[in-house]
Structure 1
């Protein structure tokens, strides 16, 4: 890859980050314990996405999750992605039995959980459970 191509890719990536920040999108990030605990302490809405790259159900959930994450309704939401194959200790901590598990929290309180769901309406309801009072 030449320098010009790398610069163009970097500029595009920075632009995508700026767009996500300015449009009030949810934050999507890899799971790390410290960030998850900090979000819980602040009583923030959280979704944990237990995911695997080889999982067809996870691939079906991904565009639904990204679409919901872009909604202003979920601008305060943080979505933590847990890799089912490489973060087995975290998977066990959350009591997830399989990939394609979504777990919703409002702070430290679990509000909803689904496994293998690819219904946009049901995933949206799970997301909404994080922002209810």
Structure 2
């Protein structure tokens, strides 16, 4: 095999594993969420709705931020606002575009409707 092909393959392999060292952004799962919070892991629940203009503005910002190395320890659960009624009730969430942040097993902050990257970053940093 020639060197340029080997380098290209190694680069692709590196990219494939790069996401595993950064923060996790996963679909909401009650059991996984409960386990993460009970274990005291830095955890964020993001209540999102596809039809929500504010959520559509937040999502690309969130996607960028979770790729930053500082947020590696944080698990972000993305919950569908229209489907997760029990979650909304248990966390007393009335509006989509809401982030709820947990640190060491306890809620430490929440934010609703923020669309500025600096504000969303500050919210996520509360989990650390």
Q: TM-score, normalised by structure 1?
A: 0.81
Query: Which of the residues 59, 67, 92 maps onto 2:64?
Result: 67
Deviation at 1:15, TM superposition (A): 8.7
2:42 counterpart residue number: 45
- The residue aligned with 2:10 is none
Partners of 1:34 and 1:17 lie apart in 2 by: 27
Name the counterpart of 1:121: 118
Q: CA deviation at 1:94?
A: 1.3
Quote how far apart the aligned CAs of 1:76 are: 0.8
Residues 39 and 107 in structure 1, CA contact (< 8 A), matched pair in contact too: no
Paired residues, number:
116
**Aligned-pair Cα RMSD in Å:** 1.7
Task: Check if 1:76 corresponds to 2:63.
Answer: no
Structure 1 stretches of at least 4 aligned residues deviating more than 4 Å after TM superposition: 14-17
Structure 2 partner of 1:5: none
In the alignment, structure 2 segments of 5+ residues that lack a partner are 1-12
Q: Is the 8 A contact 2:99 2:111 kept in 1?
A: yes
Give distance in 1, aligned partners of 2:15 and 2:102: 27
**1:105 is aligned to 2:102:** yes
Asked if the contact 2:22/2:71 (under 8 Å) is kept, the reply is yes
> Residue by residue, what CA displacement relative to the aligned partner does 1:2-38 show, whole Å, maximum 9, x if unpaired?
xxxxxxxxxxxx99763311xx211111111110111
